[in-house]
Amino acid sequence: MPQTIVKARKLRKEFEISQSFMQSLRKKPKLKVKAVDGIDFDIYERKSMGLVGESGCGKTTVGKLVMKLLDATSGELYVKGQDVTKLNDKRGIKAYRRMAQMIYQDPFSSLDPRFKVYDILEEPLLIHKIGDTMDERRALIEKALEDVRLTPPDEFIDRYPHMLSGGQRQRVAIARCLILNPDFIVADEPVSMLDVSVRAELLNLMKDLIEIQDLTFLYITHDISTTRFFTDYIGVMYLGDIVEQGPVAQVLDNPIHPYTQALLTAVPEPEPDRLDRVKEIPIKGEIPSGTNVPQGCRFHTRCPYTKDICKKTPPSNKEPLEKGHKAKCHFAGDIEYKLRVIKLGEGGKAEKVEEIKPEDISY
């Protein structure tokens, strides 16, 4: 069994909503957004875990909690045996930041436009006092650029971010992480703002770095297709909680939570010869507010299989099929994954509804 690098138990983060002057005079109770609502997960050494879900489900908040950019409201979060939630002193946080790094979604806004590539990569070395001389630091900078395949380094080292393409800027952002030789990286939608061809190159690069530099990743995304390619484990988040998790192939090939099934159904098909059909999404409506999480199962307001127990009793994790594949659903394993497609006729009008096998869907 590989060593556990990251372990979260009952991790919770709530944000208080500020009140207006009149609300404070009326002494109304402050509303709290339950951004992360008591989640558990493990990430193993030299493995990658993906977090997927709708916008606003709490994925990025989890990444910021792991990076200690936000303080947890309650719960425990261990990274290499160290309880990150109890890190309060500057020295301890500084040492932790050298071990754990983050790749942000937008490579342009995460790089200082006034700095050249050399300055961007030298800054973390100066902060952490790595490299006694300028020559030593330059050698480390050139190696970091070579590691992310920006070669020869001399062609890029004196450029400003606006002189680079989107893919090149993200490679510089990755090099800035690698230059401190971290053990763990949080990648928050690292390829979502890039062209499809560039996405493939960067995902292959990150996958190679896992083997070459013994890295561990938390990969946050809404793109399930890249999750299948890049990650070993996956957690599906809904309204601040992980409702299904397990090995990526098991979860995506045999989803046992209705929400995961709906996410997979929503993935667009790439085949041009299937443009005459659209998949019928089994869930309706919007995700509820994080200030008023539904009682019982938090998904019951949108679930097509809701029973009375779902409205009253919160489900616990069930592991009905393969070991390690679990879901917070009273009927996990009993709900058959069905896919219905609407055949389109002339003018895009719906003609008929057909049921197809999940294996007939590509994503």
* Domain annotation for the chain: domains and CATH numbers: 4-238 (3.40.50.300), 255-360 (no CATH)
Instruction: Give the Cα separation of 84 and 292 in Å (integer).
Output: 28
Lowest mean pLDDT among 182-186, 260-264, 283-287: 283-287
Question: Mind listing the pLDDT tens digit for each residue in 163-187?
Answer: 999 999 999 999 999 999 999 999 9
CB atoms within 10 A of CB 113: 9
pLDDT range class, residue 247, cuts 50, 70, 90? very high
Q: How far is CA 329 from the centre of its chain?
A: 22
Q: What is the mean pLDDT of the chain?
A: 87
Question: Mind listing the pLDDT tens digit for each residue in 38-89?
Answer: 999 999 999 999 999 988 899 999 999 999 999 999 999 999 988 999 888 8
Say if residue 352's pLDDT is above 80.
no
Which one, of 236, 232, 201, lies nearest residue 217 by Cα? 232
Say if residue 23's pLDDT is above 80.
no
Give the contacts of 116 (CB within 8 A, at least 6 positions apart). Answer: 157, 158, 159, 160
Radius of gyration of the chain from its Cα atoms, rounded to whole angstroms: 23
pLDDT range class, residue 114, cuts 50, 70, 90? very high
Q: Residue 120 burial (CB < 10 Å; 0-12/13-18/19+)?
A: buried
Give the contacts of 269 (CB within 8 A, at least 6 positions apart). Answer: 279, 361, 362, 363
| pTM of the entire predicted model | 0.89
The percentage of the chain sitting over the pLDDT mark of 70, rounded to a whole number, equals 87
Q: How far is CA 25 from the centre of its chain?
A: 40
User: pLDDT at position 334, please?
Assistant: 86
User: pLDDT at position 248, please?
Assistant: 94
The percentage of the chain sitting over the pLDDT mark of 90, rounded to a whole number, equals 62
Residue 159, CB-side half-sphere exposure with 13 Å CA sphere = 15
Instruction: Give the Cα separation of 77 and 84 in Å (integer).
Output: 6
H-run or E-run covering 50: strand 48-52
Whose tokens are 């961007």? That residue is 120
Instruction: Give the Cα separation of 235 and 246 in Å (integer).
Output: 7
The answer to whether the peptide bond before residue 152 is cis (omega within 30 degrees of 0) is: yes
Q: Give the C-alpha distances (Å, rounded to integers) separating 173 from 144, 156, 170, 182, 287.
A: 10, 13, 5, 14, 33
User: pLDDT at position 51, please?
Assistant: 96
- When comparing pLDDT for 275 and 65, which is higher? 65
CB 316 within 8 A of CB 324: no
End-to-end CA separation in angstroms for the chain: 30
* Cα 85-180-230 angle, rounded to 5 deg: 75
DSSP 306: -
For helices 117-127 and 166-178, angle between their N-to-C axes, nearest 10 degrees: 20
For helices 166-178 and 134-147, angle between their N-to-C axes, nearest 10 degrees: 120
User: pLDDT at position 339, please?
Assistant: 67
**Two structure tokens written together for 195:** 């062209």
